[in-house]
Amino acid sequence: MKGRFDRAFRLVTGLTLIIAAQANAPAQDEPPPAKTLAPGKGVELTTARCVLCHDATHITRTKLSRGEWEFNIKNMIERGAPIAPAEIAPILEYLAAYYNREAAPPPPAAATTTAEGDPAAKLLNANACLACHQTDKRVVGPSFREVAAKYGANSSAATTLAAKIKQGGSGVWGPVPMPPNAGLSDADLQQLASWVLRQK
């Protein structure tokens, strides 16, 4: 009797694990998660606060209810995420609008489709640079103008800046680390560095 019970228990457990694995497996025809957050109101703030610790795909592959996003934001704050009280509502509104399993996202915003023909602009958008840096004001990191002023006089500025973009780091502009961009090609790194140095 005990042996029959054990076999039945193992069978039910095995089936449960198989069903759970199939439910969590991505569909073969499903596209991979986007590497940047969808354009829309609140995307800059959300990227600046959330993509500091997580890859953007941590969000783009997830669909949660509004309440679940609210719980996740509170949980991240408890773990040390640098989210000010006034920033909670706009981040929640963005996540609940664009990554909600209970409602379709709004149509794409035109905000980040500014310079489609500019290769540097495409790189800045594709690698979430604009979440932490703006041309003329500090966000999480220094403005591009500040960077250009600091490194522009150096004859090897483009090479130095390209290396910093690739390796990331912290301490030069404050305690918040800049994540590495190791996946960028040397050509892309040089293009970004040259573009930044022109923003004087």
Q: What is the DSSP letter of 131?
A: G
Write the Ramachandran bin of 81: left for phi over 0, alpha for psi from -120 to 50, otherwise beta: beta
Tell me what pLDDT residue 108 has: 62
Tell me what pLDDT residue 3 has: 57
Task: Give the whole-angstrom CA distance, residue 67 versus residue 38.
Answer: 20
| CATH class for the domain made up of 119-197 | mainly alpha
Instruction: Quick: pLDDT tens for 108-164.
Output: 654 333 345 578 888 887 777 877 888 888 877 889 999 999 888 888 899 999 999
Tell me what pLDDT residue 172 has: 85
Pinpoint the residues of the chain covered by CATH 1.10.760.10.
119-197
Query: What is the pTM (predicted TM-score) of this model?
Result: 0.50
Tell me what pLDDT residue 4 has: 56
Task: Give the whole-angstrom CA distance, residue 69 versus residue 71.
Answer: 5
Tell me what pLDDT residue 110 has: 43
Those residues of the chain that have pLDDT short of 50 are: 8-9, 11-25, 110-115
Q: Which amino acid, residue 17? A: L
Tell me what pLDDT residue 81 has: 86
3-state secondary structure 1-48: CHHHHHHHHHHHHHHHHHHHHHHHCCCCCCCCCCCCCCCCCCHHHHHH
